[in-house]
Amino acid sequence: MILQTHDLWRTFGGVAAVSGINFNLKKGELRCLIGANGAGKSTFFKMLTGQIKPTSGRITLFGKDVTNLPSHAIARMGVGVKTQVPNLFNGLSVRENLFMSAQRVMGRKPALEAVDAMLEKIHMTAHAQTLAGKLAHGHRQWVELGMILISGPQLVLLDEPAAGMTAGEVERTIALLNELRGQRTFIIVEHDMHFIRRIAEKVTVFHRGRVLVEDTMEAVVRNTEVRDAYLGQHGKEAR
């Protein structure tokens, strides 16, 4: 297990956004978190990244207790985070964005080479000098993905990587994830069912702050509880 949460809680005022979640993630897994809006996925996600502190419970990462660690400490342990809305350095070029991530873990020369390689991989070589703030949304998602992967994190947390992307871009993302599957461990929060079906191994369904079901995509889709709670509204897509 590289990531575990033990009875994790987060309350806001009187409302429990996350209620006693016990989550386990094995190395090399590609886990998807799904659930309706307000089900607690984002709150859970942010507790993993260190952006929100749990009200109670523990989080263990790579065997270490990281419950109250700040985000940068968690990142340094080898965790890459892609936020729901792409967070880039808008005033810096694509190349510089990637470099900022690379230079934290390697020297200047290797970082420069890694940046060139990553630019190729995310098909952004032509835009290397463009300021990140001027990129189209799909490209921004790509650059962010590149920034995360370039530092070689063991655990990659992606919050809605397919959001706002064209079909072609989604294909490329899926291809990239499939390439990295097994080499790294992924947690992906997503709403796009087609996307999830293409890549998911195991799926964790959130509902009202708890884990409703944790199983393969096929099993989840057939599960009546899940259908009632969540997929029922999207019944057509799930089929």
Binding site for another protein (CB under 8 A): 13, 49, 51, 70-73, 75-76, 81, 83, 87-93, 95-96, 99-101, 103-105, 108, 111-112, 129, 131, 147, 151
Separation of alpha carbons 68 and 18, rounded Å: 16
Q: Which is nearer to another protein, 26 or 104 (CB)?
A: 104
Amino acid letter, 40? G
Residue 232 Cβ, how far from another protein at the closest point, in Å? 29
- Toward another protein, which CB reaches closer, 72 or 236? 72
Q: Which residue has the tokens 């994830």?
A: 177
Rounded least distance, CB 215 to another protein, Å: 30
Of 69 and 238, which has the nearer Cβ to another protein?
Answer: 69
Tell me if 79 sits within 8 A of 61, measured CB to CB: yes
DSSP-derived 3-state class of residue 36: coil
Between 129 and 224, CB nearer to another protein: 129
- The answer to whether residues 124 and 142 touch, using CB atoms and an 8 Å cutoff, is yes
Dihedral angle, C-alpha 143, 147, 152, 154, nearest 10 ° = -90
C-alpha distances out from residue 186 to 69, 89, 179, 237, Å: 20, 24, 12, 24
b (16+ CB within 10 A) / e for 69-90: beeeebbeebbbbbbeebebbe
Least distance in Å: CB of 104 to another protein? 5
Nearer to another protein, 112 or 238 (CB): 112
Q: State in angstroms the smallest separation of the CB of 5 from another protein.
A: 19
Helix (H, G, I), strand (E, B) or coil at 157: strand
| Residues 82/162, Cβ–Cβ less than 8 Å | no
Q: Shortest distance, CB of residue 157 to another protein, whole angstroms?
A: 9
Taking the complex as a whole, the smallest distance from the CB of residue 88 to another protein amounts, in Å, to 6
Considering beta carbons, is residue 85 or 219 the nearer one to another protein?
85
